């Protein structure tokens, strides 16, 4: 019996909260809130997309620098000793 009472209490509470939310969202303030929320979600999605694109560019840049460093190190080891570490890693 207790489980049924808990279920019914939860069901009634959920229905009441849903009804209040529906009435609120139908009003002018509710529509304003929905509009603001939609804009915020669109902005967040755009920021996320831009961030992912920037990460991609950053990784490509790191890979390019790493390849250049490896090529430079190979050339230096073939032609001369490596003495100036600051020059290589700057």
Q: What is the pTM of this model?
A: 0.43
> How far is it, in rounded angstroms, from Cα 4 to Cα 11?
10
Average pLDDT over residues 67-87: 70
What DSSP line would sit under 43-63, residue for residue? Answer: HHHHHHHHHHHHHHHHHHHHH
> How far is it, in rounded angstroms, from Cα 16 to Cα 21?
9
Identify the pLDDT of residue 90. 57
Note the pLDDT tens digit of each residue in 4-35: 888 888 888 999 888 888 888 788 887 888 88
For the chain, give the mean pLDDT.
Answer: 81
Categorize the per-residue pLDDT at 80 as very low, low, confident or very high, splitting at 50, 70 and 90.
low
Instruction: Kindly list the domain boundaries of the chain, sorted by start residue.
Output: 2-89
Identify the burial level of 30 via C-beta atoms within 10 angstroms of its C-beta, where 0-12 means exposed, 13-18 middle and 19 or more buried: middle
Average pLDDT over residues 45-72: 87
Q: Report yes or no: 76 and 82 within 8 Å, Cβ to Cβ.
A: yes
């Amino acid at each position: 019996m207790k489980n049924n009472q808990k279920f019914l209490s939860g069901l009634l509470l959920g229905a009441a909260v849903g009804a209040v939310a529906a009435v609120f969202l139908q009003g002018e303030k509710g529509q304003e809130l929905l509009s603001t929320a939609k804009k915020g979600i669109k902005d967040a999605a755009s920021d996320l997309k831009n961030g992912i694109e920037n990460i991609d560019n950053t990784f490509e840049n790191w890979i390019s620098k790493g390849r250049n460093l490896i090529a430079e190190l190979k050339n230096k080891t073939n032609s001369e000793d490596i003495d100036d570490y600051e020059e290589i890693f700057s």
